[in-house]
Amino acid sequence: MSVGDSDSLRLFHTGLHPCGYWPDRVARDLVLDPRDPRLPQFYPQALQWGFRRSGDIVYRPHCQGCRACVAVRIPVARFRPDRSQRRCLARNADVEARVTPAERSDERLALYRRYLRARHPQGGMDDHGAAEFDQFLLGSWTSGRFLELRLHGRLLALAATDLTEHALSAVYTFYDPDEAARSPGTLAILQQIQWAQREGRHHLYLGYWIDGHGKMDYKRRFRPLEAFDGRRWAPLGTSP
């Protein structure tokens, strides 16, 4: 990856590891050199090339014989909520959204741990503590923020979000598992879209979408949605 005629950032392949989406498959990633001090400079371009951040690691799936993971983004100026999303906004009219510095607190850590225990039991993340919170959500070089959703002052959900000049990137969202009926994950994306619109940013990156995967299909409901095919971004097909 280069930003000029001579400057370049090294890329590495990881070893094989269990696929996080299909339990019967193995995966492999392409990773930008995490030790390069210019990584923050390259990060906006990396998002445009289908990469994603997890902690200090900027990666893109690069699995032999599998191209299921498709990077997707929302062109926020053209987004219009559908009927279900409008109902979500109306149902959560009593929820306050605010952008805050990306910092750990006891309240945020407690909600994060509750969410992981409820949503990912025995998944390798359910024993995360303060160190893992910092490593995964804060990183050491990003200019991220937290989007808090509060219900009568109580923390309902939190979306870790990266900021670049022209885009936001949704890194990770967690919420009170007892409030799932409010669709806080959908609400967090809708609020991130509004945030990007207010600040004149062009896109909200949503990470990867996988056709036919139940936990990833919700992303297709945010239309228009663009997908990266390895060379360019194009509208994702809207057929069921």
Q: Which two tokens stand for residue 9?
A: 């950032």
What does the alpha-carbon distance between residue 196 and residue 206 come to, in Å, rounded to a whole number? 13
Q: Which of 220, 204, 209 is nearest to 170 (CA)?
A: 204
Strand partners, 47: none
What does the alpha-carbon distance between residue 74 and residue 220 come to, in Å, rounded to a whole number? 10
**In the predicted model, is pLDDT for residue 108 greater than 70?**
yes
pTM: 0.93
pLDDT at 217: 85
Contacts (Cβ under 8 Å, ≥6 apart) of 161: 144, 145, 146, 147, 168, 169, 170, 171, 192, 195
pLDDT at 107: 98
93-120 in b/e form (b: 16+ CB < 10 A) is eebebebeebeeeeebbebbbebbbeee
CATH 3.20.20.70, applies to 73-235: no
How confident is the model over 74-90, as pLDDT tens digits? 999 999 999 999 999 99
pLDDT at 9: 86
Which residue matches tokens 């062109």? 75
Domain boundaries, the chain: 11-69, 73-235
Backbone angles phi, psi at 90, to 5 degrees: -65, -40
How confident is the model over 223-238, as pLDDT tens digits? 999 999 999 999 997 4
